[in-house]
Amino acid sequence: MMSNTTWNLDPSLESTALVQIKPQYELFIDGKWQAPLSKTYFDSINPADETHLAKIAWANQADVDLAVRAARTAYTNVWSQLSGAERGKYLFRIARLMQEKARELAVLETLDGGKPIREARDVDVPLACNHFFYYAGWADKLLEAFPGQNPAALGVAGQITPWNFPLLMLAWKIAPALACGNTVVLKPAETTSLTALKFAEICQEAGLPPGVVNIVTGYGDTGAALVAHPDLDKIAFTGSTAVGKQIQKACIGTTKKLTLELGGKSANIILEDAPIDQAVEGVINAIFFNQGHVCCAGSRLFVQESIATQVLDKLKFRLQSIYVGNPLDKNTDIGAINSKKQLETIERYIQLGLEEGAEIYQPTCELPSAGYYCKPTLFTDVAQSARIVQEEIFGPVLTIQTFRTIEEVVQKANNTPYGLAAGIWTDKGARIFGVSQQLQAGVVWANTYNKFDPASPFGGYKESGFGREGGLHGLRAYLKFPN
């Protein structure tokens, strides 16, 4: 008989042979690759090993202006002249092309952003494709979607996406915008431009009319120039609450319609009658999905006191089979932190947690020597008053609080300026409805967490933003309803 077995998985690296990264990327304006008028470029690196990936054009105000003009012209001359059915066919075609390049997009996403290939492959890319499929079907049904309300396109949309789900957030922005008859200028996050640029190639391949989709890469100043452009009818932004507020201010006095999808500090609540093993797994998905770089991450865990020890023990045990490391390894559960800057932020919060007297637990695991990595981290002995409980960390860091009564936990769950998502775990159906009605959050996951679907509206209450993306409700963000 065997004994004392150790069985470690060998590395299982996804091939990068499919992916061809150009040494330098220009701006995608009016269906063409155009060198930036700014004449400047920035470097994009792989956060997993800090290697250089490509030089990327850094758009300035003049570049943004060109892009907006192209989008306006395309809107006026081409896109607004097409029937919904024709627009839908373009979107279907794009969706298909994305599916055909699914693996390439997944590998690119992992290389550029550091997320595990398993997630890029099984979550980001399929969801992004599905989002285009979903909204493609709406393009010719807008009148049925809003009967008697005369829905009409807004015009040109400026869209700014974050670095945590680059291609998926692009899909959330571009698919409904185009389906509703708008043209777009999209600025991806500076650390993760590559899949947006690949998407531009897909638009070309799909024969999308020039100017309908324009991609301007750059840092925050590029985004600010886009927001400030006078000839936009719509701004859609996903990112931090702080930047969201700047954007809301910048839109005052204009006719730009605005939707914001911002930060969160979502509560994940386990009641004593929960399906406990699935709840523990739900906690893992809630906080360690995408390194915790998720606006709706279940970063505040609340466990009823009667089961707190058991849940904590189970969580600690579960952490032993979380693999942290090379994002290209198919077995990796937690990949690289997206940037050095973000790693520093997370580390600062971990330090703060220690200073606040919280008890820390991290599993023993070896991190790669190069690149940006963070161990999955649990903080116990924390109170609602601790900053690590109140502030969005945007990393694999979970705070764990206990509670005695449901009333108490609902109060604490809502005791935050944010209101993006919440989780509730209990076997009792009546309680699920009762608690979920009380939770101030745009998405409530009952006995599950971090599920996304093109048909499901997503967006926050309070300082987590306004407007919805996904589903029927997601159309509203890109339409006006002149009476």
Stretch that binds other proteins, among 48-56, 295-303, 345-353, 448-456 (CB under 8 A): 448-456
Beta bridge partners of 214: 185
d(CA 468, CA 464): 11
Least distance to other proteins, CB of residue 130, Å: 7
Query: In Å, what is the CA distance from 229 to each residue of 27, 58, 76, 187, 193?
Result: 17, 17, 17, 13, 21
Q: Work out which of 29, 458, 477, 479 binds other proteins, going by CB under 8 A.
A: 458
Q: Work out which of 45, 108, 196, 260 binds other proteins, going by CB under 8 A.
A: 260
Least distance to other proteins, CB of residue 310, Å: 8
Size of the site for other proteins (CB under 8 A): 70
Least distance to other proteins, CB of residue 316, Å: 11
Catalytic residue among 14, 104, 190, 261: 261
Stretch that binds other proteins, among 171-179, 231-239, 399-407, 432-440 (CB under 8 A): 432-440
**Between 60 and 241, whose beta carbon lies closer to other proteins?**
241
Q: 449 Cβ partners below 8 Å, 6+ apart? A: 268, 282, 283, 285, 286, 298, 423
**Between 68 and 243, whose beta carbon lies closer to other proteins?**
243
Q: Work out which of 34, 200, 462, 477 binds other proteins, going by CB under 8 A.
A: 462
Q: Does 321 bind other proteins (CB under 8 A)?
A: yes
Q: Work out which of 18, 35, 143, 472 binds other proteins, going by CB under 8 A.
A: 472
d(CA 393, CA 236): 23
**Between 89 and 473, whose beta carbon lies closer to other proteins?**
473
Query: In Å, what is the CA distance from 177 to each residue of 5, 88, 222, 223, 399?
Result: 55, 11, 21, 18, 37
Q: Does 9 bind other proteins (CB under 8 A)?
A: yes
Is the distance from CB of 442 to CB of 464 less than 8 angstroms?
A: yes
The sign of the CA dihedral 80, 132, 457, 346 is negative
Residue 203 annotated in active site: no
Beta strands at 397-403 and 300-304: parallel, antiparallel or unpaired? parallel
Q: Does 459 bind other proteins (CB under 8 A)?
A: yes
Cβ count within 10 A of residue 465:
28
The DSSP H or E segment spanning 222 is: helix 220-228
**Between 33 and 323, whose beta carbon lies closer to other proteins?**
323
Is the distance from CB of 165 to CB of 289 less than 8 angstroms?
A: no
Q: Work out which of 446, 475, 477, 479 binds other proteins, going by CB under 8 A.
A: 446
Query: In Å, what is the CA distance from 284 to each residue of 111, 276, 312, 400?
Result: 23, 13, 12, 13
Least distance to other proteins, CB of residue 356, Å: 24
Is the distance from CB of 294 to CB of 163 less than 8 angstroms?
A: no
Strand, helix or coil for residue 260: strand
Query: In Å, what is the CA distance from 431 to each residue of 335, 344, 372, 424, 435?
Result: 36, 40, 42, 9, 6
Residue 190 annotated in active site: no
Stretch that binds other proteins, among 86-94, 162-170, 203-211, 269-277 (CB under 8 A): 269-277
Q: Work out which of 248, 345, 362, 390 binds other proteins, going by CB under 8 A.
A: 248
Q: Work out which of 213, 398, 443, 479 binds other proteins, going by CB under 8 A.
A: 443
The DSSP H or E segment spanning 213 is: strand 213-215
Instruction: Sketch the per residue contact string, 105 through 124, with other proteins: x for CB under 8 A, - otherwise.
Output: -------------x---x--
Q: Does 144 bind other proteins (CB under 8 A)?
A: no
Q: Does 273 bind other proteins (CB under 8 A)?
A: yes
Give catalytic residues, as residue numbers.
261, 295
Residues forming contacts to other proteins in the complex (CB under 8 A) are 1-3, 5-12, 118, 122, 130, 149, 241, 244-245, 248-249, 252-253, 260, 262, 273-278, 281-282, 310, 313, 317, 320-321, 330-331, 417, 427, 432, 436-437, 441-448, 451, 453, 455-459, 461-463, 465-466, 468, 471-473, 481, 483
